[in-house]
A and B are shown apart, each in its own frame.
Chain A
Amino acid sequence: MRALQGLRGPRAPSLPLLLLCFLAALRRSLEHGLSTAAPFKSLPVQEEMMTKYSNLSLESHNISVTAAPFTSLPVQEEMMTKSSNLSLESHSISMTAAPFTSLPVQEEMMTKSSNLSLESHSISMTAMPIKENNKGNQICVDRGIMLQRNVTLEHSNMPVEKNITLERPSNVELICQFTPSGDLNSVNVTWKKGDKLLEDNYLVNATGGTLYTQHRVAVINSKQMGSYSCFFGEKKQQRGTFNLKVPEINGQNKPLITYLGDSVVLMCKCQDCLPLNWTWYGGNGSVQVPIGVPVNDKYVISGKHANETRLKITQLSEDDQGTYLCHAIFELGESEGHVKLVVLSYLVPLKVFCAIAAEVVLLVAAILLFEMYTQKKKKPSDDGKEFEQGEQLKLDDSNGIENSGPRHRKNESVGQ
């Protein structure tokens, strides 16, 4: 479900664009409007807005994940606009930590235009003074750097990370921004890809009290994907990580229940991506067998839009049970989703149905028997009452309503 909210950022889409997106969102929400459910979950997710234009290639993407108070790191990804013609991508993340965490990180922005699609991403880490926390870790307020004597940033459970999804080959620019309170020059800046230290291709810049470092990666194929980290300082290293990934595929979380001899449609979808190819694998256990390779009637692969794939299986049997994988192939790698299929026999619900039907028959029989029994009891006394009423009716000439006594008297007086 999408809710509409105003965009924050350097570029705001126009009103017709908003309306278009809203209509699309509304139609979907209308469809689900009738269901009522109130499950209890601890992590509400807000996905705020996404508008997309294919011509102007303007994409604004807004995600805010607000965690319940007991998690330690809420992450806010604010904006990402992408334009394929202008090859403009601005991507910004601001991570604001919960009050008791020590390191709020703000990733701000970048825009750049070129002919090739260029993406720039930045993480900025600013240290902030923190109050004494329960663990007894003391912070030196005057220095303005987060110092937790017992816990270093690497050991803390709050990695400063950002996930970037890439579909097409592009030039990616990663920017880290760090504001130390000490001497700028004493801070050592390094970049790493995974564990491998990167020697070249990055710049370091110092402006005001802030240190900027920038690393450019030309992502052509899957070899350039992975996680890139920038490190500041020697002993107490501040680290920011960019995870370059292909888009994720959503299968179905809950297992699909089907019956023998039935048909079923398995669907895999990704939010806004255009894979080059989709393939399905079925497997019992560890063996992954591609489906649909010898084309037969049993499996039909189709897909209405490019971002989804459907596998229709007919004539289900017990062997068809298991987990199915849908593989999406991108230029920059592969991604997969899972769908679990369970095949039951018809007897399972039939038994429940028969149980309920038996209960109903029993109850109806019991109720009707009880009624006949009570009526039999009443009958002898009823006959007497009827006789009396009959006599009164003859006298009254009226439709008998409860108290015929006073009326009886009245009639007598009238008759007389």
Chain B
Amino acid sequence: MPPPGGTPPPHPPPDGGWGWVVVGAAFISIGFSYAFPKAVTVFFKEIQLLFNTTYSEIAWISSTMLAVMYAGGPISSVLVNKYGSRPVVMVGGLLCCLGMVSASYSTNVVELYFTMGLICGLGLAFNLQPALTIIGKYFYKKRPVANGLAMAGSPVFLSTLAPFNQYLFNTYGWKGSFMILGGLLLNCCVAGSLMRPVEPKASTESKNKVGVRETDCSMKKRQKKLSVWEEINKYLDFSLFKHRGFLIYLSGNVIMFLGFFAPVIFLAPYAKDKGIDEYSAAFLLSVMAFVDMFARPTVGLIANSKLIRPRIQYFFSFAVMFTGICHLLCALAEDYTSLVVYAVFFGLGFGSVSSVLFETLMDLVGAQRFSSAVGLVTVVECCPVLLGPPLAGKLVDETGQYKYMYLACGAIVVLASVWLLIGNAANYRLLAREKKKSIHTKESQETEPLKTSQSPSVNIKSGKNEEWKGAEVNSSERETNI
């Protein structure tokens, strides 16, 4: 079990070596998690015919899968906190396989909701969370690059899964395809097996033994004071809701996701509405996915630079603002060329936001509390992600034009970016002030023994890992300044 937030990790992140293999494994897990719910829509037409339902009833399968994937976040976080990433991802892969294989035997829509939606969605949740968490454990200095590379899995998998699913459908029909897809999802287990835990258990045990010997009396006292609340916090850190940075991030993201996904979903119908033929409209989505694919690692690299990394929250806000402005300008698009330009810029914006989405959260709460944080964030984000597209669809139905929907989405996203910008500017300033205070108090307490669990690295001794320690101050101080 990792120590509670506020202490630096007992083992520094390797920042390389096996870490890059773990990035590849996370690439697979994240790719399946985000791309799978969207890619299965290829099968829906035939299933709808067979089960004699309306299309919206079938489309709910995809939404249920996405909802469970997001809502399963906290469960996933608890399990990761207890057992580490590897077993959770492997269980997730098995669950996904089970869900899809049993879906191939289903005879009505409700069974599909249960097998595909619930079981498979839970399996995907067990893939997404741990993959993000383990990147934080393996990387610090190069974390933005690692995050960008891992998140690039989503567009890559989407662009390969969609035509692959079409091929499977033509060759095996929907039943056979579901079975084969279940087999494919087993590859998540392979990804999971690559996610080696960072700290070898032996060293932690020896350190703990030493720590126990030294702080024996204080530990005994602390154990008596552990309340129910703290027990729960061991599994899922609810104290994050008092964390200023976390709250800013959460509120900004909730607003943003309301208007984030709808433009993607409605891009093809919007193009067809303008008179563009079906294949060119589908091509727009491919353009977007292609740009997205390359934008994510590139933006990860940019975010890693010395200039941007300390101000990564601002960078995130600007990326969100860029996307919002893209949506606003899309309303002006009239012909195919302008839509292609929009798709390119939107791909860029979408990619840059997704790339630093979890990096900023890690930056705010630190790698220790990240697993709980991401669980809580996804369960809260579940609502806007699910409500956004239907609301947008309603807006289109009411006004009869896609233009207003794009303007509304753009406005919402720009609003979110402004809120994030202001919030984070205030947060940075308050943190700087608190840091100064703590330096002054620490200087006055220099003679006291260094037993306390406060950040020990305020007085930076070694010039070597300045970035790590300097930022360590920032992150740990952010954690401590609740």
Contact = CB atoms under 8 A, between A and B. Distances in A.
Interface of A: 1-5, 19, 22-23, 26, 29-41, 44-46, 48, 254, 256-259, 262-265, 267, 310, 344, 348-350, 352-357, 360, 363-364, 367-368, 371, 375, 382, 386, 389-390, 393-394, 396-403, 405-407, 410-411, 414
A36 B285 contact: yes
Contacts of B450: 396-398, 411
Interface string B235-261: 000000000000000000000000000
B458 interface: no
B278 to A, nearest CB: 5
Given A389-B206, A401-B457, A19 B173 contact: no
Contact of A349 (B175, B186, B446, B457): B175
A265 B203 CA distance: 63
B171 A357 contact: no
Interface of B: 7-8, 10, 12, 38, 41-42, 46, 49-50, 52, 55-56, 59, 62, 90, 101, 158-159, 162-163, 166, 169-173, 175-177, 179-180, 182-184, 186-187, 189-190, 193-194, 196, 200, 202-203, 206-207, 210-211, 214, 265-269, 272-283, 285-286, 289, 393, 396-397, 400, 446-447, 449-451, 456-457, 461-462, 464-465, 469
B206 A406 contact: no
A265 B49 contact: yes
A81 B271 CA distance: 27
A258 B457 contact: no
A257 B8 contact: no
Contact of A356 (B56, B180, B265): B180
Contacts of B190: 360, 363-364, 367
A3 B393 CA distance: 17
Given A32-B268, A38-B279, A363-B190, A386 B176 contact: no
Contacts of A400: 10, 207
A48 B273 CA distance: 10
B41 A34 contact: yes
Contact of B449 (A35, A375, A397, A403): A397
Contacts of B211: 393
Which of A355, A399, A406 has the most B CB atoms < 10 Å from its CB? Answer: A399
B180 A46 contact: no
A344 B400 contact: no
Contact of B269 (A29, A263, A348, A350): A29
Chain B interface mostly: helix
Contact of B396 (A26, A32, A258): A26
A349 B179 contact: yes
A42 B227 CA distance: 70
B273 A3 contact: yes
A237 B266 CA distance: 52
Contacts of A357: 183, 186
Contacts of B464: 402-403
A45 B50 contact: no
A348 B176 contact: yes
A40 to B, nearest CB: 8
Name, among A32, A44, A349, A393, the residue most crowded by chain B CB atoms within 10 Å (CB to CB).
Answer: A349
A1 B278 contact: yes
Nearest to B10: A399
A367 B187 CA distance: 13
Contacts of B462: 402-403, 405-406
A390 to B, nearest CB: 6
Contacts of A26: 269, 273, 396-397
Contact of B276 (A3, A48, A344, A349): A3
A288 B58 CA distance: 35
Given A31-B59, A402-B12, A36 B49 contact: no
Nearest to A263: B50
Contacts of B159: 36
B41 A35 contact: yes
A407 B459 CA distance: 10
Contacts of B461: 403, 406-407, 410
A135 B304 CA distance: 64
Given A36-B289, A398-B450, 10 more contacts: A32-B268, A38-B163, A38-B279, A352-B172, A353-B101, A356-B187, A390-B206, A393-B210, A398-B456, A403-B465
A35 B46 CA distance: 14
Contact of A34 (B62, B166, B176, B202): B62
A31 B47 CA distance: 13
A254 B170 contact: yes
B282 A37 contact: yes
